Amino acid sequence: MSYPRIGEDELRALDVPAALAAGLRDGGRPPGEVAVAAALAADRLGTRPRSLTFLAEVVRRGGTGYAVTLPEPLPTPEQAALAASWLAAAYAVPEQGPEHDETLARWLENVALVVAARRRAATGTGTADT
């Protein structure tokens, strides 16, 4: 099976909050390219993977409703604004519950994994600033 190749320019143009919300509706999961597009945006802002992983744990423990109220969900104002747009889109999806929070938390962890993989590839080392 082959998958259509999506270039970075197309991924950077993707409306991540809208695609995330669409993927979360009816208990669904956002497609993988949404996490990659989010990772490109987060990486461009210098977001550390561990910050995204921490935010995922906040969503998992406190819920999307709690996470969306955080004034600074990520360390810098630009990163915080990016994460806030994702959290607001996820929060706007009706029929939320524990499964919704877990799906969003896993999505954030996937974003963190892509950021870490990009950094490892860019540095040519086996480590990334996680």
Tell me, what's the pLDDT at 128?
Answer: 57
For 76, residues 6+ apart whose C-beta sits below 8 A from its C-beta are 45, 46
Q: Is residue 110 part of a domain?
A: yes
Full domain range(s) for residue 94: 8-115
Joined together, the tokens standing for residue 93 give 């999806």
State the virtual CA torsion across 86, 44, 3, 50 in degrees, nearest 10: -60
Q: How confident is the model at residue 31 (pLDDT cuts 50, 70, 90)?
A: confident
Q: How confident is the model at residue 113 (pLDDT cuts 50, 70, 90)?
A: very high
Q: Is residue 122 part of a domain?
A: no
Q: How confident is the model at residue 5 (pLDDT cuts 50, 70, 90)?
A: confident
Q: Is residue 3 part of a domain?
A: no
Tell me, what's the pLDDT at 3?
Answer: 59
For 64, residues 6+ apart whose C-beta sits below 8 A from its C-beta are 87, 90, 91, 96, 100, 101, 104
Tell me, what's the pLDDT at 127?
Answer: 61
Q: Is residue 125 part of a domain?
A: no
Q: Is residue 127 part of a domain?
A: no
Q: Is residue 130 part of a domain?
A: no
Q: Is residue 123 part of a domain?
A: no
Q: Is residue 124 part of a domain?
A: no
Residue 26 pLDDT exceeds 70: no
Q: How many structural domains does the chain have?
A: 1
- One-letter amino acid at 80 equals A
